[in-house]
Structure 1
């Protein structure tokens, strides 16, 4: 029998070449994307400048000197707002109880703005009977303050447009639009709502924050929600109840009481600077009774799941905890367990440590069965090798049938080894959603990490290394080390190839932890800490099971006893046997036909 002890030279060369090609393609397209983006930005800036100029001329609104533009402020315990006279827009929104990340101090010690310094521009467009377009973003509004309410008033072509802002006692800003005299000049078509929004960086880890910034919206009378995190949004057939631009831990939402129709949106990454992503949205709002009298609400909120639920508008769906069972695991299990443990006054890092232990205790019966199966496979390996040697000259189908017969007689169910992996998949993906989106972990430090929702970068490089970046995360490095140790301890139980020419997969098992380092290096350090603890516990469990719980001699005796017992063939095993027998019969008939033709 030909034995394959590893990847041969050609396979290693092919794997290395393929890896280089993939990395090369990745860098090439990243550079092309950055170059295309810069060119696109230049084009858009020229186009936007021309559009503003054209709209200003259309509306007969002259250029307004900065000194004539009035700005007023509103404030409550949660928000500080600035409303600008040009366009009557919210020009600044600051979160009073949160701070933004400062790269110079490596701390969250800067004011956290969701809107600031012209990062947001929104307004309405009305079509006149003479074909001109009124764009409220170009109009000069005059403010009037009355307590917690500001009324912004502008006049154009004999019509009056008012924006009425009222700051509530939480994260809401009531926004009413009222017109007078619009009926005399409007062509009667619906108004267009336009919102251009440049999301400002607030977190450590630009790429991670970009990945968690996206459109989210509700429709069907708050019955359904959807999101778009990459390309263009186009919703022509539904009415949006609210539209949110979600950041990693905060969100800006505009809700329309009558809804937005014919919605389109676009988003683009920003590679450098204070903005991380550019969003643009356009939708229509009905004009009823010839005048535009509509009610809206702005929400500027942290992504706290209890707060989001309190509004009863499906805002909790903005928090990306995962779909289906993955979201269920986070909402029902991980969030509640974290809240319970953190209520004891324990540091966040040790809360994660205890969470890991709880998960391992719950999964321990499954892990025991998995390791017992591995031990049984190891015991019967000589019999498997004997079958391979005996039927080395037979066809692969026959050899596989005899191998399965050995497993069946020994009472070994190979499929049982898949169960632990299947059960842990939802947990695995749930954690990738939990740690970067858990607001309570934001800014919580632990050992090497200043923020468990971002990477730790104690080890910094003077330059950026491809794929790895400009730092090396200690938590990611420690996690990779224990994953390699765990792989070494479990690789011995992996069955060798049973068919000639099949490669040995063991060397590839060692590649996975190393590649995982490149991924974890820029992810939340809390995630790396969790998997470091998890794999360390796995190593301890293996040692305990191997040295104190499982006895190979007893397992061997159990297997021999199983062979003497009558076997009840399961439905799946019966189906597999029948399929193999049918395939073997077809192969025999094909060989017979070939002989007859000769």
Structure 2
């Protein structure tokens, strides 16, 4: 009886060929099967070993397209699609809003925050060999029940599960669970990576790019910050991170927070996308397992809506301005706009009424300013006489002192003219923040402007002009004209430069409205309309004061009467100014003496 020493050469060759054919046969049909059968089929263990080795080397070049499945859930507010590759969101549509369509010049396109692979996120782990693998490289098996999507993936004997639940109020609960991960990883943390390229959804690329930025909360929601370039927070724990666009925000919140957070931004000059955002943060593992709750929010930046998320500080994402500026918008301009809008008035007329309301509130201060302008006009001949008498740079101090003496005898307080200007600076900046960020104005047209949050471009240019672009805004032109008229009317009482070499302030004041046009031409047409109405009202107020309220002859008589009286004692401010001028005059004399000595040498 022949002893069996095992397989002979022919049997070995036949076995190898048969095994190769069998493996190829199995591989082919496994790729044809669904993900559910791959998990259930015992033969998939061989593939999982190959996949885990591939993932451990952070390579995903051969993902089978047939294994990728997308599932969709929706409610009144959001329509969400999830991809089995990475188990992540592949599409986010906000149902009740539309995106801008350049072809129709209207907001009539579906509004997608995420679509066409512009967003990718996942958790990166380090295994015991020191190699890394990322969940966005894994193929998850999806299952859907009502508005809950469960994504399950296997890697190196561990199970990773994402449980998404679509809630009301633009919220998506995102629960991450792992089992058996502790046998694969040794690190006590996982890295969360989010790469997000935002697309343009509004009219006016430069304005939308300017308003696209990072926002985040830290210090247990006690502090918030924003960043337009990039940030790094090595010591703070971020409660949530938002990528904000002009009117919408995508937010990821972590129950336990993100540590060692870092964000970078890159502007895209052309095309449908505006900016690239990259965020990296760490989350802690408990027992080398990741079992944490996260939440996604895809929000329109509507102030009343943002305030419904109590304790989250989401309203800080809306850039209405810091400190007093933001308070002014929140307690006055936004409530007044909403109140007037409730009357059913067109948005442009709401802005018109807002302008009148603001003027009425400022009327006492504005009246003082215009009265001061009238009084300055009355004493202008005497100021010119002093200027003629004390010519030359060597008489600059005497000229200034004589001018202040005229003002003092006439009872004119120059500082009173500064107050209206100081009051209007925060109002201007508040409105600069209000109009391009008020979502209720988005898509609202008025006359030739189709959207009051963007520029009007009824006049289109066939070529690009630096600082202007390819259009001319009618609202910007109209605003520039009335500001120029107002400047001419109010600059008549301004003095000529009292020192040689000093510029004529009137020329600078005339140039300002023209340069202001370049700013307004690409800004919100609502802002231009507001300032057109505001300055037109200023002109009417000046004319009313001049012809019906103030009597220049009476003012002149009052000034002459004040001159005949004993001069009032110097006030603290006047005394300080006089002392400063005397000190400056002494320093000037000393410099001249030193210069003479140097010339003699």
CA distance in 2, matches of 1:587, 1:497: 19
Q: 2:56, 2:133 within 8 Å by CA — same for their partners in 1? A: no
Alignment of 1:127-206 (within 5 A): 127-206=126-205
CA distance in 1, matches of 2:589, 2:483: 46
- Report the CA distance between 1:426 and its aligned residue: 0.3
SS of equivalent residue, structure 1 residue 86: coil
Assess, with a 3 A threshold, how the Cα gap between structure 1 residues 495 and 289 changes in structure 2: closer, same or farther.
Answer: same
Aligned residue for 1:294?
A: 292
Q: Which residue of 2 aligns with 1:487?
A: 487
Q: Give the CA RMSD over aligned residues.
A: 1.8
In structure 2, the partner of 1:256 is 254
State the shift of 1:363 in Å: 1.4
SS in 1 for 2:321: coil
Structure 1 residues 138 and 593 mapped into 2: Cα distance closer, same or farther (>3 Å)?
Answer: closer
Structure-1 separation of matches of 2:476 and 2:59:
60
Please list, as runs of the form range in 1=range in 2, the aligned pairs for 1:418-429 lying within 5 A after superposition: 418-429=418-429
Q: How far 1:59 sits from its partner (Å)?
A: 4.5
Query: Partner of 1:473 in structure 2?
Result: 473
Q: Is the 8 A contact 1:87 1:136 kept in 2?
A: yes
Q: How far apart in 2 are the matches of 1:130 and 1:151?
A: 30
- Asked whether the equivalents of residues 217 and 223 of structure 2 are also in contact (C-alpha less than 8 Å), the reply is yes
CA distance in 1, matches of 2:464, 2:388: 53
Q: CA deviation at 1:549?
A: 1.2
3-state SS of 1:395 partner: helix
Determine if the alignment matches structure 1 residue 269 to structure 2 residue 267. Answer: yes
Note the residue ranges of structure 1 that are not aligned, 5 or more in a row: 1-53
* Secondary structure class of the residue paired with 1:376: helix
SS in structure 1 opposite 2:286? coil
How far is 1:469 from its partner? Answer: 0.9
Inter-partner Cα distance in structure 2 for 1:150 and 1:242: 23
Distance (Å, rounded) in 2 between the aligned partners of 1:232 and 1:166: 31
Specify the alignment match of 1:464 in structure 2: 464
| Count of aligned residue pairs for this structure pair | 544
Cα shift readout 1:85-108 (whole Å, capped 9, x = no counterpart)? 000001100001000001111111
Range moving further from structure 2, 378-387 or 520-529 = 378-387
Residues of 1 paired with 2:102 and 2:54: CA distance?
40
Deviation at 1:386, TM superposition (A): 2.2
TM-score (normalised: structure 2): 0.87
1:405: Cα distance to partner? 1.5
Residue 65 (structure 1) aligns with: 64
Over residues 538-575 of structure 1, what are the superposed CA-to-partner deviations in whole Å (9 max), with x where a residue is unaligned? Answer: 11111111111121111111112222144132211111
Query: Does the C-alpha gap of structure 1 residues 593 and 428 become closer, same or farther in structure 2, counting only changes over 3 Å?
Result: closer
* CA distance, structure 2, for counterparts of residue 525 and residue 66 of structure 1: 48
Contact map agreement 1:255 1:298 (CA 8 A) in 2: yes
Residue of structure 1 in register with 2:306 after alignment: 308
Q: Matched residues in 2 for 1:193 and 1:592: separation? A: 71
State the 4+ residue runs in structure 1 displaced beyond 4 angstroms: 54-57, 59-62, 585-598
Q: CA deviation at 1:143?
A: 0.3
Please state if 1:440 is matched with 2:440.
yes
Alpha-carbon separation, structure 1, partners of 2:596 and 2:71: 94
Residue number in structure 1 paired with 2:40: none
Shift of 1:176: 0.7
Q: Does the 8 Å CA contact 2:72/2:79 hold for their aligned counterparts?
A: yes
SS at match of 2:344: coil
Kindly report which structure 2 residues correspond to 1:236-255, keeping only aligned pairs within 5 A, or say none.
236-255=234-253
Q: Distance in 2 between matches of 1:596 and 1:350?
A: 70
SS in 2 for 1:111: strand
Q: 1:428 is paired with a residue of what secondary structure?
A: helix
For residues 26-85 of structure 1, the C-alpha deviation after alignment (integer angstroms, 9 at most, x for no partner) is xxxxxxxxxxxxxxxxxxxxxxxxxxxx98571575622222101111111100000000
Query: What is the deviation of 1:509?
Result: 2.0
CA spacing shift, 1:500–1:239, aligned 2, 3 Å: same
CA distance 1:459–1:241, shift in 2 (3 Å)? same
Deviation at 1:205, TM superposition (A): 0.8
- Residues 64-143 of structure 1: pairs in structure 2 closer than 5 A: 64-143=63-142
Q: Secondary structure at the match of 1:164?
A: strand
Q: Which runs of 5+ in 2 are unaligned?
A: 1-52
Is the contact made by 1:175 and 1:297 (CA closer than 8 Å) also made in structure 2?
Answer: yes
The alignment's TM-score, normalised by the length of structure 1, stands at 0.88
- Between the aligned partners of 2:66 and 2:243, the Cα distance in structure 1 is 32
CA distance in 2, matches of 1:146, 1:503: 75
Shift of 1:204: 0.8
Q: Which entry has the higher C-alpha Rg, 1 or 2?
A: 2
C-alpha distance in 1, partners of 2:444/2:352?
A: 14
**Residues 301 and 587 (structure 1), Cα distance of their counterparts in 2 relative to 1, 3 Å cut:** closer
- The alignment status of 1:573 with 2:574, answered yes or no, reads yes
SS in 2 for 1:423: helix
Alpha carbons of 1:259 and 1:397: their partners in 2 closer, same or farther (altered >3 Å)?
same
Q: Deviations 1:481-539 (Å, cap 9, x if unpaired)? A: 21122122222222222233333222232222122222111111111111111111111
Retained in 2: the 8 A contact 1:76–1:170?
no
1:488 & 1:536 partners in 2: Cα distance? Answer: 13
Structure number with the bigger relative contact order (C-alpha 8 A, sep ≥ 6) is 1
Alignment match, 2:37? none
Query: Which whole-Å CA distance do the structure 2 matches of 1:288 and 1:307 have between them?
Result: 35
Distance in 2 between the 1:413 and 1:131 partners? 76
Q: 1:55 to 1:219 in 2, by over 3 A?
A: farther
Residues 379-418 of structure 1 correspond to what in structure 2 (within 5 A)?
A: 379-392=378-391, 394-418=394-418
586 and 100 in structure 1: CA distance in 2 versus 1, 3 angstrom threshold? closer
1-side partners of 2:509 and 2:588: how far apart? 35
- Residue matched to 1:35: none
Confirm or deny that 1:583 pairs with 2:584.
yes
Give the Cα separation in 2 of the matches to 1:383 and 1:258.
Answer: 73
For the structure 1 residues 391 and 477, does the alpha-carbon distance in structure 2 shift closer, same or farther, using more than 3 Å as the test? closer
Q: Residue in 1 aligned with 2:322?
A: 323
Q: Distance in 1 between the 2:237 and 2:516 partners?
A: 42
